[in-house]
Amino acid sequence: MHETGGTSPPTGEVLDRYRADPVTARKINRLFRAIRPGGGSTEYTNKEVADRIGASDTYLGYLREGERLDPPISLARAIEEFFGAKPGYLDPDADPAIVAKVDCHLEMVEKLNRLFHTIRSGDGEREYTNKEVADRVNVSAAYIGYLRRGKRDFPTIWVAREIEKVFGVLPGYLDPGANPETVEMVERQLSMIEALRAELQLQNSLLQDQLLRLESRTADDGPPPADPQRDPAVARRTDRQLAMPEGLRAHLDVLEELREGGLSGEVVEEAALRMQSRDADDGTRPS
């Protein structure tokens, strides 16, 4: 095993002779960032990788921080094999063509997984499964899983287009050497959806707090007169909405549209603009 976990990092002037080429550290970190367990949102830990390649997690951490010389060839090959990178990617004098191809492949993996993490299924609450996407693309769920874990090369143009269609993004986003304008536009849309989802969670929390306060006040004042013609569930919701300030009702309407629209496409953009417009017009925001 390369180094033990108890080795202390060098400091001061001694550190300079231990420092690896920062390019090597960058490439190792790129592998960690792009290739994740099951294509999920959490990176492998140093220990998980170290246990598989026969090194200590401390030593691997030093490599990632640029505090060790480039790893021995045998260890570099083990890291490359673990992450499915082409042999030679981590070499100090790596062939630029190999580096470019691996970096391009890692970029595709990152983009594919971002689509899964950001564009949710119809209810807007959960990510698509590999099988759900595979069924619509007409490939196997295992193949989609391999793509997400970097275990397969670039998908064919036809498969890439079908995946893009499932997630509703511009054609060409997943292509190697994709048009920068296409990538920028899609990334901007994905960032907007992520921001809106975070805003929705915040608004939900604030609205729930407001509703609890209103329900508490209603309980103190007594229930409204019963109407036998109204559905009880609808009646409770309507009564709560009527008791709200107008600004809160407007926000609730927008949030309902976001839920029904699955946080995607034109519904999201239109609802976001309406929410911003209402905040600007009446200065009302849940607090």
Nearest 5°: phi and psi at 55? -135, 170
pLDDT on residue 208: 77
Flag whether the pTM goes above 0.75: no
pLDDT on residue 20: 55
Q: Which residues of 277-286 are buried (b: 16+ CB within 10 A; e: fewer)?
A: ebeeeeeeeb
pLDDT on residue 68: 85
Quick check: 43 and 36 in contact, CB under 8 A? yes
Determine the Cα–Cα distance for residues 36 and 51; give it in Å rounded to an integer.
16
CATH of domain 12-85: 1.10.260.40
From the first residue on, what is the mean pLDDT of each consecutive set of 10 residues in the chain (287 residues)? 48 47 89 88 92 94 90 94 93 93 93 91 80 95 93 91 94 91 92 84 76 71 57 54 50 56 52 55 48
pLDDT on residue 262: 52
CATH of domain 106-174: 1.10.260.40
Domain locations in the chain? Answer: 12-85, 106-174, 181-282
pLDDT on residue 6: 45
Quick check: 88 and 98 in contact, CB under 8 A? yes
